[in-house]
Every structure is written in C-alpha cells, then in structure tokens.
Structure 1
Amino acid sequence: MAKATKQSDRVQTLERIIAHLDTQYEQGIACTHPDTGVLVSDGEYDALRRELQTLNPQSTLFETATASQLESAVAKVVHHPPLTSIEKASHEDLAVQQQMLFKWLRGADAPAVAEAPAGELFADALPDDLITVAGMSYDGQPVVYSPDRFYAAYKLDGVAIALYYEQGKLVRAGLRPRDGINGEDVTAQVRYVAGVPEKLPKKITCSIRGELICKLSDFEKVQAELADEGEKLRANPRNHTAGGIRQFKNPEKTARMRISFIAYTIEALDHPPYKTEIERARWCQETLGINYIEPQPFRFENLQAMEDAVPTLDFEVDGVVIGVNTLEDQEQLGRHGDPRTGNPKGKIAWKFREEEATPVIRDIQWQTGRTGKIVAVAIFDPVRLAGTNVTRATLHNAGFMLRNQITIGSTIAVRKAGKIIPKVTGVIAGQGEPQFPDHCPACKAKTQLQQGGTEEMLELVCPNPDCSAQNVHGLCHYLSTFGVVGLGESRVRTMVEGGKVATHADFYRLDLDDAMECGLTERQSLLALAAIHMIPAPDKKENNELGIAIATARQTKKQVPLWQLFAAFGIEAAGKSAGKALEDHFSSFDAIRAATVQQLIEVGDVGEKTAETVSSYLATNAAAIDDLLNYVEPQSPKTGLLTGKNFCFSGGFPEGKRHWEQRVEELGGKCSGSVSKKTHYLVAGTASGSKSEKAEKLGIPIIDTDDLQKMIQAMSDPTG
C-alpha cells in the first residue's frame, strides 16, 4: 500500500513538473524546475516524460501534444488534421539513445524485416541491397534498413505553425496548441513574417506546416536594436520567436521581430504531384517558392556529420527528424495512441547531445530563493558554449555537491541547458569536501541542511520566514500568479528594501507617496501602482488620468478565482492543479482553511505530503491571510443552471475551447480535461478523437456546441 501511494505521489509530481515546463516553453521563457528554480535541459525533460510513461502510461498528460496550461483568450484556428509532435530518441546515455532509434528502425522498416530469413538475422544471410550499421546490434541482431526507406532532415528549434491556403490565397494561420487542434490565430501576424506568401503561384487548397524561427544573423540584429533602445535582451532565438509572433494587440509590431518561416510538410492537398518526403520538399521549394527544410536519404553514419555541421547553419536546430520517405507507407504505419491526434509512428526525432565544457571552479556564490532554498553558483574562467562566453553555472543543491564532492578547485562538466542557462552536470577532477555557508547570504540567519523532495535532494535552507530574499521571490510569485504584469523583481525589491512592502496585503495599502519614498520617480511609482491594481494600458495614460484610475481601483476588492489565489501563495508542491482540486472539493476558501490534514488528503491530486504542507502554511500564515482578505475576495465556483453537471470539451472549436468552458463555468458547471464516470456530457468539436471513443464506451452523452446552447436555453426557459 505504501509503495502504491509513493508511486502515485511520484506520478502527480511528474505531471505537475512537466505541465509547468511545457507552459514555460510555450510562453517562450526559460524552463526552470517549479520547486528548485534550476533550469531543466532538454535531456532532463525527456527523462521526466520517460519516467512518467513507465509509471503511468495512461496519464492524461499524454493525450495532448503538450501539457501546457497556458490559456489564451485570442481567436482560435482549428487544425485539421491536428498539428501534433513526434516521438523522440533522446537519452543521456548515447548507447541507450541508439537502441531507441534502432528499435524504431526495426518497427518502421517492414520490407527489410520481411526480406530477412526467419529466426535470427545473420549478416551473411541478409539481402545484398540492405544497409547494415557496422558494429551495431539491436535485440541480438544486426541493425539493417532498406537504402531508400528513410529520409533525414534537421529538426528546427522554433515555433510550430500551420498556414492554410484556399485557391492559393492565405486565409488563416495558427500556432500549435496543447491539444494539437485549437491553435492561437496569428493570421494577421504572419503577414509580417519572412517566407510566408499571401498568394501561391498555384491555385491550390492545402495546409503548409513548418516552424517560425529567428535566423541567427537576424537575432544578432534584434539584440543590437534592443541594446540601442536600452531594452532587455532576449534569451535565445526560440524564446524571442515565441513571444515575437504573439503581437495580438498590434500585429504590425511583428515586422520588428525579424521572424522567418521554414516549411516541413504539406497536408490536405488533393492529388499531390509527389510520392515521397524528398519529392515533396523539392516541389514546395521549386514550384511554390516556399523555403523547406531539406531532407536527404537517411544513413546512420551521417548523424554525427549533421551534428558537427550545426555551427555552419544560420538557424537553431536540436536534432534530426528521421522518417519513412514514401508518404503512403508513412500513413499506413498509423499513430501512437489516438488515431487522429497521436504522434505519427512513421517519424522519430534524434536529439543532439548538449555541448559541454570542463572549467575549474574559481569561486562559489550562494543565492537564496523564495522557498528558502540556498543554491550554489560556480564561478569559473570564461568557456565557450552555444556561441557565448560562460563564466557561471548552478550547482543545484547541497546533495548534488556532496555526492560529487564539488568544491573550489574542482574541474566540472558544464552544459548550456536549453541553450540558455549553464548548469553543472558532474565533476571531472579535483574533488573535495564542499563547504556550506553557516549563515544565509541575504538575512544572515543560521542555515540548516534538510532533506528535500527525494532521498538525494539534500537542501541548504534559510529557516527565517522573514528573510528578505525569500520575501522578494515569494511576493513576485504572488503577483505573477495573481495576474499582475509589468512589475518585475527589481521594483518589488526596491519596495521591500524601502520598508513599504513585506506582505501580500502591503501591495494594496501602498500609495504614491510610499512608492516615491522607496526611491521611485512619480511616473515609475504610478506605473507600479497601476500594475498592482491591474489597470489596462497604463503606459498610454497621462499621470493625472493614471492617478484617478488607481484611486478608483483601490476602492474595491480584487476578485480572483479561489484556485488562483491559492496558487499565488506559492505553497511548495501545491500550485494551480492542487488549487483547482481543493476548490472543486471544498467550494469555499473558508472550508479549505478549516480542513484537517486528513480531509485534505481525501482530495484528488493532493497527496499526504502536500496536505501537510498546505495545512501548515495556512495555519502559520493565518493572520497574514486574514489581512489580505481585506483587499482580495476569492471567488468560489459559481452556481447556476449547470450546477452539478460535469463537462469535458474535446476537439477543435472556432471560438476556442476556453470560450465554451468559461460559458459552462459561469452557469455553475464544472469542466475537466479528461473523460471519466463522473462526466455528464462530452462536448465534441472537430477531431474529438479518443475522448469521444471513451465517452461512447462509458455511455456518456456526446453533444456539440449547438446542443449545449439548446440545453442552456431549455433550462433558462423550461416552458419553451
């Protein structure tokens, strides 16, 4: 029983971490671990997904293209067929990664397997035209494949998009969403993207899919322009592109982002004049004039050569896509899981190894985070990684340093995770006993070593709840989760150090004089207050107008969904999913605060450790929470015509799935991302997929949005 509970807790932890990372990735920001704040590399992310796949292959997280929790209110483009991802051959151990690829080659190359003799494959018994990978084997047999069976092309590290043409004219464009179906509509924005023609040379109807990128040469210009304007530089081209294309208020600003489009497939074209991936690429470039990532016949020995050639490219890549070349054969292989929205079996991504350097640690600096964890940062002489000079990298936690015996003078292995922030992956030489600081670098309180989330995660922590560093990070987390934008860490730190802000409630007591006493100018103070009170477009208002708007906003409590307020507290391992589960179970914030640990444990998605942490936080911070509730009003789930009804929305909706979910929630109904026996209705849109199949098996009514509207109308007017 204890083992099952431990595994269940681990599954929940993995789902929470992966959803957090997917959300950050879609936002175009650095992907950091939600508990430690440490940057997560592509390889580590892939390892998390593999672990979840092993522990719970049926996790709902695998039902969508991404587990991102990013909700967008912009118009949607319904992707048909769905815009999916592909499976990966990725592992920190190269031999394991090769076996993942060989397994896929064996399964995808039916002709080679069919031609081989029955029983074990022997090199001298294979047909002459098959290619044998020298010195390699899979499952005790030689690795072989047909010479024309597969193609290989660089895997672009950009933002996936689908362009839709009707009779040769561009009619809509949508980004890839979490479900692969309801993509953000960027039709207006792509008109300012290089390589996207508004009109094709042929009057064809099709979907051209590819990646939005910022070429490295263009990215240098972007950074130079930002530096000249005194703006913050972008982390990398991919993050810049993800943010740059989302110019929903002013689409014309997209032109300044220097974004380009490169295609990688064409869908829904009647009677295509090509039969293979290589032929399709040539036709797209030569006939349509659209830049297409160039595929070539696959040869295993060329993978390293392709990786070695990456520095010569003018765009970022993170691997090679390998696929079945003949399109008909590729289609017949089908998809993983859902036959409509699953990843195609005919393709796999070979991920490149992360570039590594081996500097000697000259010094170690210590930084305190919002949860009190103190992280070590190694300082070393400059080394070149991913095109930049690197002089510092995180050492994770005390357990990592102790296990690897890392100290000043150690030679370490450093990688640039996600091509953004360097991190230490191991020690090469010069091991020694690490020396931990006795006092917090921020507040000087005596530090403690305590066990973290796993047996290996020994943490150095500051136990002082009033620590200034913890307070700043915690306050910033509160603001961002609450929905406040435009108030960064430097401004919050200024207010904390100025003695005007120490608790969440202090933000709402802050006035113009208080902010200016912290050293901010009048304009800076007004903009900070406007951000706190969530006044729209404050930068477009004059000081007098802004002052009036702030004064008006201060007169009323800020209303926020209960789950969102709960998540804003930043309770360790208890974020948005836990907040929503508690909201559904208890219905009111008062009930959550009054719940015992045992009552909290009974809530789905809340394990024993999380329940204890939540109970302790709410009790310890009761006075501060009472104070905050003078300014903030948590909104319990609404009651109405649909109270007591559980809905699940699946597939594509022109207005966007969130539009309909909000409509249901406004009328008291509840929405879930998965189908279960508790579901009363499945509302199916375009390409609903496996959820419709599951609903049919469970006998759950399947309706569309017209049916839903009629249902609401009938409930509103029972007399007809």
Structure 2
Amino acid sequence: MLKLFDMGNEKNPKERIEELRQQIERYNYYYYTKNESLISDIEFDKLLKELEGLEHDHPEYKVENSPTTNVGASSLKESKFKKVIHKKPMLSLNNSYNIGDVIAFAERVEKNLDGTHRDLEYVLELKLDGASISVQYEGGELVRAVTRGDGIEGEDVTENILAIKSIPNYLKENISIEVRGEIVLPLSRFQELNQRRLEDGEEIFANPRNAASGTLRQLDAEVVKERELDAYFYYLVDSENYGMKTHKESLEYLSKIGIKTTGIAEVISSMSVMEERIAYWEKAKEELDYETDGLVLKLNNISLWEEVGYTTKSPRWAIAYKFPAKQVTTKLNGITWQVGRTGKVTPVAELEEVELSGSKVKRASLHNMDEVIRKDIRIGDRVFIEKAAEIIPQVVSSVKEVRDGSEKIVEAPTHCPVCNSLLEKEEGLVDLKCVNPACPAIIQGSIEYFVSRDGMNISGFGSRIVERMLELGYIKDITDIYTLSKYSEEMKQLDKMGEKSVEKLLASIEKSKERPYSKTLYALGIPFVGKFLGNVLAKRSGDIDKLSSMTKEELLDIDGVGEKVAESVYGFFRDEKSMEIVKKLKEYGINFSQEKKKNSSGEGLFSGKTFLFTGKLEKFKREEIKELIEALGGTNMSSVSKKLDYLIVGADAGSKLKKAQELETVKILTEDEFIEMTK
C-alpha cells in the first residue's frame, strides 16, 4: 500500500503531528462536507492511528480539537441547514481489518470488566456505508432529524427525512425516543439513477454512499423523494430507559414500533463462530441491495456498556470489522483517447497493473476531459481506482501529496485519434465528439454494441472478430451481419476461426432474430435509449412502426421519457440512413414487435406481476429468465419488498429468501414451479 507521507527523520514529532492533523482534517472536510472521498478508508485509518500514536507519546503537542478526538466533519460553517447540538454525542467506531483485531477487542472488553464476566455475548450487525442520521420522535411523531456532523453538532434535515418513505412519520406506539441509523441509496436504485444520468448526458454518481450523503443535504426535498433513499436503524438511544436489557432486544423493539432495521443481528458467544460469520458475510453481502463495507460487533448486555466505557471518540464496547478494500492505488502511466459508437471521445487511464476486487486492472475510465481537470489528474500521478457499481474500473482521484514535479498536465486532443477529423464539443455538454459518420471507430463501436449480450446477444462476435470482418469488407454496418453466411467458407479458413466456431457464430446470428423487441430497440443504439428505456418504449409502442410514427408530444407522454430522449427517438426515425437500416433488418426477419404469451383474458400471462430470483439457477441464465418474464408481461424487481409477487429460488439462496419468508406476502417458487407457470 502506498505511503502518503515521508516517514524519515526530517520532521520532528511536533511537525509530523501538525502535518497529519491538516491532512486528516482536509480528508474529513471533503468526505463530510463535499461528499467526496480523497483517500481510501484503510489509508485514512492508518493516518489516524499514526496520529493517535504520536499524540500518546507526545501529549504536550495534542490540541483540544484534534481529529483523534472529534468525530466526522471538523466544521459546519458552509452548511445551509440549521445547526443542532446532539442530546448525546454521535460517536464513531474503531475500525479493524483482520480477525486478530476483533479477538484483541474482545480481550480488552473482558479486561475492562476485571475478568468478572465470562462467556460474554456479542451482537453481529452489518455496517452500512451511507450517511449517519439521528431521528427524534415525541409522542410517537417524528419531530426532528439531524446528521452526524462533527459528532457534537449536526445539521437539521428533517424536511428531507420526511421525504424518505421507509422512515415512519408516526410510530406504532405513543412514545418519545431517539433512534440512530444510516441513510442509504439502494444499489438497484443507484444503478438506475446512473443509467438515467448516462442516458441524459449527466455525470454519474461515484458511489452509493456519496450519492446518499449528497442527496440528504439537498435543499429541495423533492429531489430526495425522487431519488428514493432508504434507511436502516441500529441504535436506540438510552435503551435501558425503555426496559431493554440487551442490544438484541432493543433492535427487536425498534422493529415492533415500526422502525426499519436490517433484520440481521446475530448473537455470537465465541470468536470461532465470529470467524465463520465474517467469512459468510464477506460473500453473502453481494446478495444485499445496499452497500455494506463491513460488520459491527457490539456487547449484547447493555448494563455493561457504561462499565466498559468510552473514549472521547468511540465506545469501547463495540468495534467495526471492515471488509477488504474495493479501492486501490497505482500509477497513471499515460492516457489514450477512445472513440465510442456515438463519436464520444473518452480519456482512458493506462495504469501499472494492479489487482482490484479479484481481477487484474491495467486500464480505467476517466469519463471526460472536464472530469480530468476537476480532479486535477496528471500523467505520472499516483491515483485511486475503484470499480463503479462493481463493474467498470474508474479513476477516483490523484494523491497530490506525493507529486515530485515530474507529472504532466493532460492536454485534450483537437482531432479524432482514429480518423483525424476535427473534434467538436456541443454547447452545454462536457464530451468531445467525432462527428464523422464514416469514422472506423464509430462504425466498429455501433456493431459491437449491436451484437452485445444486452443487445442481440450474438455469442462469438467479440471486438477482434468485428474488427476482422470490417477489415476484410465482409460487413460495413449492422445489417451486413445477417448476410455473413455467404462468406462462411472464407471465414473457416481464417486464423483462430475454424469450422465449429464459424457454425456457432452463424447459428447465434440466426437465433438473434428472435430477440425481444425491447432488446432490438436497445441494440439500434438510439442515443439515450438504454436497457430501461428500451423496455419502456417497447411496452408502450407495441411495435416499431407505431414507435416510428409517434410525435414528440406522444413520446413525452410516456413515463420516463424526457425532452432529450423524445428528441433523440423522434430524430432517429426521421433520419434516412437509420430508417434504411431498420427496413433492412425487418427484411432479414429481426423481431420488431412486442408479442406476449396471453392468458384467457387476452392480457400478458404475467401482466401486473413482479418477479425476482435469488441463488444459483440451474435451468436459466440470469438474462434469459429476465427476458422471459418481460416477454410474458411481467416486471423484474431488484429487491424484496411488499411490491414483489414472486421470488424464484435457486441453490444457496441467501438473505433475499429470508426477507421474503418474513414478509409472507411473497410467493416463493422453485425453477420447476416457475416453468410450470409459463405453460
């Protein structure tokens, strides 16, 4: 892991302490005020621990407002919200990164109790990665909600909290309490919002945590409502005053009165069981619809909390175990400019190879030139990379503290790196674009997009094959894919092709003619029409003839279609070349109508029904079952809720099955039972 600072003997302890304070306060400021992470959690914790050690060894240099004492943001001066003093400080948790630290924590707890308590019980909970909140109820009515802030003072965001559906305005009991929890943006919603933002040409959210925190501090509560934040609570303040003896009991009480919890609170009585559960949750967390970066272990017996005690910043009766980092550092060796199917020219970071979330990464997205400038990314920088939504590696930030002067400022290209055409930048947009329709990169990109799994799903047609077919002149645009069979003998003679691979490719091309209408709409590459809108437009129009004849006003009447999308769809179907492509594809037998299996009433078999699947499916691939459900008129859900009708369960089903069983309103199906329903 990168060392951010010189640990040599040049700085005396006093200078080093001051340097660390300034750095940590800067990171806290960006994290809590700007909703932006400039450093990974593990590296931040290393800096904090170093500062704690130096202050311990040199107490004469410790100041009252040290970040080792304060929690969260060091200043709320820029806030536009009313400041509120917490009735009881909102402390943070000490972090650990290995089981040894957790065992040491348990030993410290027992030591603090003078060894008088044996066989202590702990409660294991999920550590959500969102924005901390404290909510107060008086007589059962929500009266105030305050952010963590610096742990002593936070921001009054009551109006925004009232816009979050999962936080009740009234409790099931007429009581006065304060509860604390985490505001999160569900992963499914995070992906939907980012997809929509991409389609609208807007900057995507970096991660769910920043999106949740930034949304919570919006001045317009309607934005909060539209983004559909969620909340989970994990702490009843002064729970012993309500007759609670254990933390587990207090969580169950919160659920009883209508406060939402994760429902995960496992009582642990041995460290061997703890190790097993940590190993389990490192995998099982992938089934969750919210971001969790670790686990929290709390002493279950509430009466012992005061005896174990607190530091100025954290309780001694609880600890957080952090999962392995999803963010790493490496060196940015250079930048190449990539031309996409729409002509958009994107900077791509060429990196020193590094392992990230289980895969080796050498390239990462920089999004656009404005983003490079905003983040001040330079060639030669040490940079943080992470996987956006666990898929696309992206550069998060540079570590400016370690620059040595050899770094080079990135210069934007003036001409297309592929066809050398002059690049343009549309007014109000951030992207540089090649507007030459004959640009080889644009043509190749449109074909790769067309044959992709989310489009026509033509297997065996990767980028290298597409490139070779273009070079040989076998294809010039997407329609030529359906005449490739006339070159079958020549293709069999090509290096690394062979008879079997060619036959499989041609069979896959033929099968693609049966793809659902929504997929063919997506595959056409209409600007701003992704998977979500492809499905919406297909359902509303019924077939491509109806869609192509729609006016802008009719398009705008469709839920989810805005001005940009309406303009794009309307323009596409009035472009002569686009319509020629659609005409040819029709002649080749491509499906351009929304045909559904119907029930006796004439409606789609699954019309109005919602589905979700979990676990390992044996008889379907994930995309196949989604497509079948949609083809039969059903809707795919991303999480278990009261809106879900059916949960299809495969092997090793996890928390989704448990939650569905608790709801009781969800019908649980095996794969065979689902197949029987489709007959």
TM-score normalised by the chain length of structure 1: 0.46
TM-score normalised by the chain length of structure 2: 0.48
